[in-house]
Chains A and B, each alone.
Chain A
Amino acid sequence: MDTGCENMATANITVSETPLVLYALRRADDALILGHRLSEWCGHAPMLEEDMALANMGLDLLGQARELYTYAARVEGRNNDEDKFAYLRDVRQYRNLLLLEQPNGDFARTMVRQFFYAAFADLYWRAMMASSDPTLAAIAAKSEKESAYHLRHSSEWIVRLGDGTEESHRRAQTAIDDLWAYTGEMFAVDDSERGLIDAGIAIDPASLRSQWLKTVTGVAGEATLSLPNNDWMQQGGRSGRHSEHLGHLLSELQSLQRTFPGATW
């Protein structure tokens, strides 16, 4: 039973990015890229308990990505699937937030990235449970439970690191300062998504910003950390203009599918 070259090729797939497909791909890419980053820690974390926790969160996110890709494929109806979306799109076809592709750096950086995103995702998925799209509402219900844990876990670490030693405080503060400019993109909405919001399929992330800021400010305060005044925000991930880091991540993630086109694994 030789599987030969079916529809998969090394070339990038083409995607019809209708608003709903694009919507699902953006969230799927968020989950995959952050999940991938967390999986890079496996075997190298500061303590075994954290190896377990980082892998746990990575697995949650991978699960979210798979459901969202599968939904995108179904809506698109063009013979794409979760693996084609993940393995056969190039950097410019990826739609994730810039924040999530940022390298792990030290443990403080990983946790601050996790915290900024989880504080958003927790609110976002909870609100999305009211989506008029039953599949998205179901994915949101599952993702919300997971995000709530991710938020709790990362918040506790932000407090420990901020209010721990001088070194951990310095590292946590540096991570906040470096990553802050990537947080604005979470709340941005373009025309494609605006239509979905108006139709009740998606929720408006801008409406979550003040609650997010309250959460982040509260935890940072308890951690004796400060939030930057700089309100310049980097954007571009949602439309495929990424940082230099994503290409390296994808060249690793996609290496087997690109090297052995058409093989079944």
Chain B
Amino acid sequence: MYTQALNTSDGDDRGIEDAARAAQFQARIDADERIEPNDWMPAAYRKTLTRQISQHAHSEIVGMLPEGNWITRAPTLRRKAALLAKVQDECGHGLYLYAAAETLGSAREELVDLMLAGKAKYSSIFNYPTLTWADIGTIGWLVDGAAIMNQIPLCRCSYGPYARAMIRVCKEESFHQRQGFEIMLTLCRGTREQRAMAQNALDRWWWPVLMMFGPPDKVSQHSDNSTKWKIKRFSNDELRQKFVDATVPQAQFLGLTIPDPDMRQNEKGNWEYSPIDWNEFNQVLAGNGPCNRDRLAARRKAHEDGAWVREAAMAHAGKRKHRQLAQAAE
């Protein structure tokens, strides 16, 4: 059970944000100092981080669904145990991140309610379906691979609790990524049907994975302040390019074809990819991805079906406390 004391937030920062404090804050950031929960911080910094960390937490939790879809069908007991453990890790990341968000003054319940109401975002990649076992390999290899690319720099983020959470999360993600690659390798060394399954999964996931890094730099909304506050250290396009450059040789090793016939390596060694269909990205963000409705419905159902359990736990804790007090009074 999580704490009740945090169940209502204080709303806006009540401190007066005078220019001197703001300057002092920025000086600390510039000196690469870590900001901790009890330190003064501008309301906008708090808001940006709360948004980012809670979206990250929601992504971990919603992300349990597409992979959870295959736990009961995993093809061997070893794969089944590894997948269950992996999805459990994602849940742990979610919990850890909600805890990090709570240090900024918003309760987990509040943040979760926003997500269930459709008012908070989660990573749009989880609005795509997992159709075959190869999707489980591909998610580990590419989705976790892209997540690592995004998250490694966050280990040096200016906000202490988030940075520390990321160090732990990244360790586990890199294990998941290797596991996913190993699933792909096994498929690619398998039967003709298995290789076709692997190629088909790559075909479906490639472009959505590139979209995970967010809109191109020229239209990204959040980057300026986030860069100044050292929440974000690389631009979306920089990270995307790093990811593509790291992934192309892996696909070649697997004998798979990246579904971008015009992709080619330039003289600097970077792989230049074709334009991304940002209309698809915007549609998924707007709720029109193949699984947006299913994902939210599944989270709402778990939440609603579990309401009586949470109420029972609270009621029992209340009774227990009452009895203890009565006993102490005797």
Of B28-36, B63-71, B286-294, the stretch lying at the interface with chain A is B63-71
B319's closest neighbor in chain A, by CB? A163
A48 to chain B, nearest CB (A): 5
A36 to B74, CA, bound (A): 11
Q: Which of A246-265 contact B (CB under 8 A)?
A: 252-253, 255-257, 260, 262-265
Q: Which of A62-114 contact B (CB under 8 A)?
A: 62-63, 65-66, 69, 82-83, 86-87, 106-107
Using A45-B306, A46-B309 as known contacts, say yes or no to A59 and B85 having CB atoms under 8 A apart. Answer: yes
Tell me whether B73 and A65 are in contact (CB under 8 A): no
Tell me whether A160 and B313 are in contact (CB under 8 A): yes
Q: Is A56 an interface residue (CB 8 A)?
A: yes
User: A82, A163, A255: which contacts B73 (Cβ < 8 A)?
Assistant: A255
A46 to B302, CA, bound (A): 6
6 A-B pairs whose Cβ atoms sit less than 8 Å apart in the complex: A51-B64, A82-B77, A107-B306, A164-B316, A167-B312, A168-B311
Q: Is B308 an interface residue (CB 8 A)?
A: yes
A106 to B305, CA, bound (A): 8
Measured as residues with beta carbon below 8 angstroms from the partner, the interface class of chain A is 35 or more
Of A1-9, A123-131, A200-208, the stretch lying at the interface with chain B is A1-9
Q: Is B120 an interface residue (CB 8 A)?
A: no
Tell me whether B313 and A52 are in contact (CB under 8 A): no
User: A4, A83, A107, A159: which contacts B316 (Cβ < 8 A)?
Assistant: A159
A158 to chain B, nearest CB (A): 11
A87 to B68, CA, bound (A): 19
Tell me whether B88 and A51 are in contact (CB under 8 A): yes
Tell me whether A165 and B73 are in contact (CB under 8 A): no
A256 to B193, CA, bound (A): 12
User: A4, A65, A164, A265: which contacts B75 (Cβ < 8 A)?
Assistant: A265
Q: Which residues of B are interface residues toward A (Cβ below 8 A)?
A: 1, 61, 64-65, 68, 71-81, 84-85, 87-88, 91-92, 94-95, 98, 133, 183, 186-187, 189-191, 193-194, 298, 301-302, 305-313, 315-316, 319
Tell me whether B91 and A52 are in contact (CB under 8 A): yes
B84 to chain A, nearest CB (A): 5
Q: Which residues of chain A have C-beta atoms less than 8 A from B191's C-beta?
A: 2-4, 260, 262-263
A224 to chain B, nearest CB (A): 10
Tell me whether B1 and A52 are in contact (CB under 8 A): no
Contacts beyond the supplied A48-B95, A50-B306: 20 A-B pairs with Cβ under 8 Å: A3-B190, A46-B306, A47-B306, A47-B309, A49-B1, A55-B91, A56-B88, A58-B84, A59-B81, A62-B80, A66-B77, A82-B77, A83-B76, A168-B308, A256-B74, A256-B75, A265-B75, A265-B76, A265-B183, A265-B186
Q: Which residues of chain B have C-beta atoms less than 8 A from A253's C-beta?
A: 72-73
The 4 closest A-B pairs by CB, nearest first: A46-B306, A164-B312, A168-B312, A265-B75
B108's closest neighbor in chain A, by CB? A48
User: A1, A62, A106, A107: which contacts B77 (Cβ < 8 A)?
Assistant: A62
A161's closest neighbor in chain B, by CB? B312
A50 to B53, CA, bound (A): 22
Tell me whether B84 and A43 are in contact (CB under 8 A): no
Tell me whether B298 and A3 are in contact (CB under 8 A): no
Q: Which residues of chain B have C-beta atoms less than 8 A from A106's C-beta?
A: 305
Q: Which residues of A are interface residues toward B (Cβ below 8 A)?
A: 1-4, 32, 36, 39-40, 42-52, 55-56, 58-59, 62-63, 65-66, 69, 82-83, 86-87, 106-107, 159-161, 163-165, 167-168, 171, 252-253, 255-257, 260, 262-265
Q: Which residues of chain A have C-beta atoms less than 8 A from B85's C-beta?
A: 55, 59
A248 to B116, CA, bound (A): 31
Q: Which residues of chain A have C-beta atoms less than 8 A from B310's C-beta?
A: 46-47
Q: Which residues of chain A have C-beta atoms less than 8 A from B133's C-beta?
A: 256, 265
Tell me whether B308 and A171 are in contact (CB under 8 A): yes
Tell me whether A265 and B301 are in contact (CB under 8 A): no
Tell me whether B77 and A160 are in contact (CB under 8 A): no
Q: Which residues of chain B have C-beta atoms less than 8 A from A50's C-beta?
A: 306, 309
Q: Which residues of chain B have C-beta atoms less than 8 A from A1's C-beta?
A: 189
B80's closest neighbor in chain A, by CB? A62
A260 to B193, CA, bound (A): 8
A168's closest neighbor in chain B, by CB? B312
* Max count, chain A CB within 10 A of own CB: residue among B187, B189, B312, B319: B312
A39 to B71, CA, bound (A): 7
A120 to chain B, nearest CB (A): 23
A159 to B194, CA, bound (A): 48
User: B1, B64, B309, B311: which contacts A42 (Cβ < 8 A)?
Assistant: B64
A253 to chain B, nearest CB (A): 6
Q: Which residues of chain B have C-beta atoms less than 8 A from A51's C-beta?
A: 64, 88, 91
Q: Which residues of chain A have C-beta atoms less than 8 A from B307's C-beta?
A: 46
A44's closest neighbor in chain B, by CB? B302
Tell me whether A163 and B308 are in contact (CB under 8 A): no
B133's closest neighbor in chain A, by CB? A256
Tell me whether A160 and B88 are in contact (CB under 8 A): no
A167 to B302, CA, bound (A): 17
A262's closest neighbor in chain B, by CB? B191
Using A3-B191, A43-B302 as known contacts, say yes or no to A167 and B81 having CB atoms under 8 A apart. Answer: no
B172 to chain A, nearest CB (A): 14
Q: Which residues of chain A have C-beta atoms less than 8 A from B193's C-beta?
A: 260, 263
